[in-house]
Amino acid sequence: MGEKTGDLVVLAGKTAYAHIRKNGLSPDDIQLVLGASGAAKWLVLHGLDTAIFSHWFKDRKDPLLVLGTSIGAWKFAAAARKNPALAFDALKHAYIHQYYKGRVTPAQVTRESERIMKAFLDQTRVDDILCHPFIRIAFEAVRCRYMLASRHRLVQLLGIVAGVGVNRVSRNLQRLYLERFVFHHQQFDTRDVDFSDFPTRFVPLEKQNFQPALTASGAIPYVMEGVADIPGAPSGIYRDGGILDYHPAFALSSSRKGFILYPHFYPYIIPGWFDKNHVNRRVNGSAADRIILLAPSEKFVSRLPFGHIPDRKDFTRLMGQDVVRVSAWEQAADMGRVLGDAFLEATHTGRIQDLVRPLP
């Protein structure tokens, strides 16, 4: 097994594991691709996502469902462009080159987000995405109630504290103050994905609501301004879908054959934003039965700058050291190319049959 293959971890649920061990993995095996929230963590997956969408799926004919939250949604918007490699590069460059001075406010972060979106997505490109030959995109935002719907940061912070407390009792209680909205391509059949764990409302994507909905999908409470009154959706304040589905782990419906590909920065799945410290709530067992998780290995992560995957906290850790942060993030993204090479090699040669491990 080559060094590059050792950088990539492949984990699979029970049925997916049995399939790969017997048959390997081909693009036509995949019916749904999921993308997680995680802000700058996506940079380490840049090379893997580029390999998957620019090469592995290049000749696909059948529809492919893709569904993400936050940066997972933004990267799928890039994946559905006519030239996904170019779009991923534009998203990567714009994201890395964020700069803040003084006290960082939600207005500043919102302006930077708007700049990033303009760098890889304009209205002409929205048309391309909605007319893509096989990608059927969907992304999630939440409509907030009570304190999390406030425009005032202190009130939002109190809402976050309350959310942590309520979630500690039961994840199901989040339905009291969060409502899941899935904004979807008109040919994304929502019956193909199991959204039954929480009440879910569906809004078809069109030119007028694509960018506001995509912005809302990554509007982190307290950090960014929420998005109000998205066209086609009920009035209200919409925020990051990752609050509810931090690492979305939706199953395919029983009537839908095939598997779920999950390029991820961790070898585990955390259901919600408030579940980060709840190890017992990680997605496994029957909920992950048809998931195929791709993640960087511990050995790979140890070689990254500072020995960790880039994340939003780097803005604080490296405050006033933008040159250092930008260099580290660019290096991490460049190093991530080996993950894409490893995946293409493993699937092409059949080596993935030996590489795959059961998802705990």
What pLDDT, in 10s, does the model give residues 255-303?
Answer: 899 999 999 999 999 999 999 989 889 998 888 999 999 999 999 999 9
Which residue reads 């694509």 in tokens? 210
Q: How much is the mean pLDDT over the chain?
A: 95
- Are the C-beta atoms of 17 and 358 separated by less than 8 Å? yes
What pLDDT, in 10s, does the model give residues 101-151?
Answer: 888 999 999 999 999 999 999 888 999 999 999 999 999 999 999 999 999
- For residue 172, the model assigns a pLDDT of 94
76: which 2 tokens? 């799928």
Please state the rounded mean pLDDT for residues 242-257. 95
Burial annotation 162-185 (CB, 10 A radius, 16+ → b, else e): ebeebbeeebeebeebbbbbbbbb
Element housing 32 (H / E): strand 30-35
- Are the C-beta atoms of 179 and 203 separated by less than 8 Å? no
Using 50, 70 and 90 to split pLDDT, how confident is the model at 1? very low
- For residue 205, the model assigns a pLDDT of 98
Q: Report whether pLDDT(360) > 90.
A: no
Q: Round to the nearest angstrom and report the end-to-end CA distance of the chain.
A: 23
Which residue reads 């920065």 in tokens? 265
- Are the C-beta atoms of 260 and 266 separated by less than 8 Å? no
How far apart CA 335 and CA 337 sit, in angstroms, is 5
DSSP 43: G
Q: What percent of the chain has pLDDT over 70?
A: 99
Residue 326's CB is within 10 A of a number of other CB atoms, namely: 15
253: which 2 tokens? 């419906």
179: which 2 tokens? 């409502």
Q: What is the dihedral of CA 203, 227, 161, 288, to 10 degrees?
A: 30
- For residue 2, the model assigns a pLDDT of 41
Q: Where are the domains of the chain?
A: 3-358
- Are the C-beta atoms of 356 and 21 separated by less than 8 Å? yes
pTM of this prediction? 0.96
DSSP states of 224-237 as a string? S--EE--TTS-SSE
Sign of CA dihedral 285, 287, 290, 294: negative
Kindly report the backbone phi and psi dihedral angles of residue 239, in degrees, each rounded to the nearest multiple of 5, phi listed first: -135, -175
